Homo-oligomer: A and B are copies of this chain.
Amino acid sequence: MATIRDVAKLAGVSVATVSRVINKNGYVHETTKQSVEAAISQLNYRPNEIARTLYKKNSKLIGLIIPDITNPFFTELARAIEDTAHHYGYTVVLCNTDEILEKEKHYIEVLQQRQADGCIMIINEKVTHSNLQQDFPIVALDRPIHAEIPFIHADHYQGGQLAAQILLRKGSKHLVHIRGPKYLDSAEARYQGFLDIVKKESVSYHILESSFQPSNDERLINDLFDRFPETDGIFAANDVIAVSALKTALRRGIAVPEELQIMGYDGILFGQLFYPSISTIAQPIYQLGEKATKILLQWIETKTCDPLVSCLPVEWIERDTTRKELLDEQHSNNR
């Protein structure tokens, strides 16, 4: 591996001159520049980023700390983040935590030791500031960390409302919401949105809580059909749960969407592969990842951090687990 000194020797100049050529700064005579470039290509020289990082203190490396890359929602976020980072010349380090606090702490430390320029985190535990090195840019994605840490998320309250409204307008009369765990603010917001609508419309409803384990979910949902056979609309906290609901319903011979409507949440790409395909409240997943990355990079490069909280709107994607007919306003308001 050739070094800058090899290049300098071959070109018959000093290392400073070579550095000037590489970085296009300072004065370099055209002739000198050419001979340096010739030496560079002759030696197939590539500057050592590590040495550069050591002096300049920026590594163009960012961390991505997520619970589990295997969860399709996170996968799609990761894809967006890597795309965006790459576009701006940054490299991303992948860190799976399984939501284990120890691993989260460990990775933060590793990233800082490696002089990462910042990181994007999806974690539950509210990391205390003391754990974090001063001035280490972090943005929280999907889940808030701390009031002073920028946070990008989708409007889950609106999503919960939307889900309930659509199920009702399309004729469901006995709703069930399978909510996510209480420690997730996003699950709480979806639940609140749902609740506010069903209460306003004073429609019958039940709330169940998912463990986010497909096999457990199927048991939960079977149970649901036994206990509340009149259920004709399910709002699932995410698409994977919606899929379990769909599977369980079909297995019991319940017609979807005729007898039972199912609304998923997240809008993962997979949802469209099912039969019937999963109607869902879609988060703008790619944009969430993109925005988080842009905010992080802006923070890194300009030391400023504009919006402390960004909330992106959700969108209903109509597919086949909800009915096509829309009841007219009057009718649905009658109840």
Contacts and interface: CB of A to CB of B under 8 A. Distances in A.
A115 interface: yes
A54 to B, nearest CB: 5
A76 to B, nearest CB: 6
Given A51-B54, A115-B48, A275-B247, A91 B93 contact: yes
Nearest to A215: B272
Interface stretch (A7-15, A62-70, A152-160, A299-307): A62-70
A20 interface: no
Contact of A274 (B51, B61, B68, B247): B247
A68 B244 CA distance: 26
A38 interface: no
B47 A50 contact: no
A262 to B, nearest CB: 12
> Which 4 A/B pairs are nearest by Cβ-Cβ distance?
A247-B275, A49-B113, A94-B94, A250-B275
A94 B75 CA distance: 12
Copies in the complex: 2
A6 interface: no
A69 B59 contact: no
B49 A114 contact: yes
Contact of A92 (B61, B72, B94): B94
Interface string A260-281: 0000000001101111010000
A250 B96 CA distance: 37
A78 interface: yes
Given A70-B75, A75-B75, A46 B112 contact: yes
A80 to B, nearest CB: 10
Contacts of A206: none
A88 to B, nearest CB: 13
A251 interface: yes
A162 interface: no
Given A69-B69, A243-B273, A274-B274, A79 B96 contact: yes
A51 B251 CA distance: 60
Contacts of A110: 91
Interface in A227-277: 240, 243-244, 246-247, 250-251, 269-270, 272-275, 277
A142 interface: no
Nearest to A63: B91
Most buried by B among A59, A68, A79, A272: A79
A75 to B, nearest CB: 5
